[in-house]
Amino acid sequence: MDKTRIIVVEDNIVYCEFVCNLLAREGFRTVQAYHLSTAKKLLQQASDGDIVVSDLRLPDGDGIDLLRWMRKEGMTQPLIIMTNYAEVHTAVESMKLGSLDYIPKQLVEDKLMPLLHTILKERSIGRNRMPVFARDSSAFQKIMQQIRLVAPTDMSVLIFGENGTGKEHIAHHLHDKSKRAGKPFVPVDCGSLSKDLAPSAFFGHVKGAFTGADSTKKGYINEAEGGTLFLDEVGNLALETQQMLLRAIQERRYRPIGDKTDKSFNVRIIAATNEDLEKAVIEKRFRQDLLYRLHDFEITVPPLRDCQEDIMPLAEFFREIANNELECSVTGFDAEARKTLLTHPWPGNVRELRQKIMGAVLQAQTGVVMKEHLELAVTKPTSPVSFALRNDAEDKERILRALKQANGNRKVAAELLGIGRTTLYSKLEEYGLKYKFQQS
């Protein structure tokens, strides 16, 4: 529960405090928003594990407005509507838009906790997990080969990659292909763990171990027993936490806070980061000995801009998911939308692509996604991207891939290759492809 944060959106300060206190007693972390505008700012920084509990009526809008905005932005966090009895019919409408449930305010004390625990239980068995899409780019084929090699072993794996590239999906792949597949996969958001919370979060505590420890609690390591512990953004751990974790990994033993005996454990550790940990070691922000323990094997997930051939297949994949989740019937993308998708640099990687496709499908509803639905500016690459021509042996294959992605449009293909159209035309003639793509 340490990872789950509840964003409570309620303009009545007294009632907001009441709900937050209710949640705190059950061990949930909370953050308050008294206005719709504040809630949107919080959600822009929210993690996928967060849950939103919102009043239906707010000073600058309502909970349904918030829900529409979230889904348009591609945010999939569960949203629970709190309402008065007189507004139940309106709240029911929110469920048609995708809210998880609505709770009459008079019953929040009885209904909210069971609903939250149901959400967490469903997450723990994987119902809330995004389906994994098999990508065909050469970069990802290399990653799949690495996974096939290392997954059956107990080697620790360190996954590098920018935010939004899908590092957790790679970790899931590793777990699913390992001998531990039938055991738990426990993700840990290292960025949310302070040095004070970390000992209890990792090792658990016994009842009475400290003020507020009203019951015994299992830690992440115990939850992952026999399975995989995934340390997401491991570079964010405090140095004190790094030392504590290193000792446990070395000895394969730990002691819950307040307990008198050590416990042994058997977990495989996979870690991920978006930063250069070697540089962090030099700057004394990360322990070199811990890096050695986590770095038996390395997988680097490339940014989406280096996997151009994956963009349209992924866009189609997310379109299907959006159709199912939003009850839309969008059939594809028009030529301008395809060009926009293929030439955008995607600084937010696959996560950004998914959000933009979700929003575009919601706006289009039916037919095809058009350029204006995507809300993306057409940008030209400032340097050659993944299709860039490198040597004579690779030219023909890369040109064919670029033309395929551009649906035969030579102008777009040249942009993908990072070359001028005149150069592309010369290459087409050289390889006997000039007339094959004459229609574009």
Which residue type, as a one-letter code, is found at position 17? E
pLDDT computed for residue 234 by the predictor: 95
Q: What is the pLDDT of residue 99?
A: 58
Answer whether residue 91 shows pLDDT above 60: no
| pLDDT value at residue 387 | 45
**Token pair for 269:** 């550790």
Token pair, residue 432, equals 């006997």
Compute the average pLDDT of residues 13-32.
Answer: 92
* Residue given tokens 């009459």 in the structure block: 104
pLDDT surpassing 90 at residue 405 = no
Q: What is the pLDDT of residue 381?
A: 45
Q: Average model confidence (pLDDT) for the chain?
A: 83
Render pLDDT for 349-372 as a digit per residue (tens, 0 to 9): 998 999 999 999 999 999 999 999
| pLDDT at 388 exceeding the cut of 50 | no
Mean pLDDT of 11-31: 92
Which strands make up the sheet holding 79-83, listed edge to edge? 29-33, 5-9, 51-55, 79-83, 101-104
User: Span 313-331, mean pLDDT?
Assistant: 91
Token duo for residue 10: 């309620």
Query: β-pairing, 57-58 with 5-9?
Result: unpaired
Report CA 124 to chain centroid distance, whole Å. 16
pTM of the model: 0.61
Each residue's pLDDT tens digit, 188-218:
988 888 888 888 889 988 887 777 777 778 8
Residue pair 165/314 in contact by the 8 Å Cβ criterion: no
Percent of the chain with pLDDT over 90: 42
d(CA 131, CA 145) in angstroms, rounded, equals 20
Tokens read off for 179 = 């001998």
Q: How many CA atoms lie within 13 A of 195 on its CB side?
A: 7
* d(C-alpha 27, C-alpha 32), whole Å: 16
Contact 265, 253 (CB under 8 A): yes
SS3 179: coil
Inter-CA distances, 5 with 76, 80, 354, Å = 14, 14, 23
CA–CA separation, 8 vs 2, rounded Å?
17
pLDDT number for residue 253: 94
Kindly report, residue by residue over 231-280, the tens digit of the pLDDT. Answer: 999 999 999 999 999 999 999 999 998 888 899 999 999 999 999 999 99
Residue 47 confidence (pLDDT):
82
Tens digit of each residue's pLDDT (9 = 90 or more) over 157-184: 999 999 889 899 899 989 988 988 878 8
30 φ, ψ (degrees, to nearest 5): -130, 155
Q: DSSP alpha helices (H): ranges in 135-258? A: 138-150, 167-176, 198-203, 220-223, 239-251
Mean pLDDT of 139-148: 88
Output the pLDDT for position 98. 53
- Both tokens of 5, joined, read 């944060």
Per mean pLDDT, which range of 61-65, 266-270, 318-322, 351-355 is the poorest?
61-65
Buried b (16+ CB within 10 A) or exposed e, 128-162: eeeeebebebebbeebeebbeebbeeeebbbbbbb
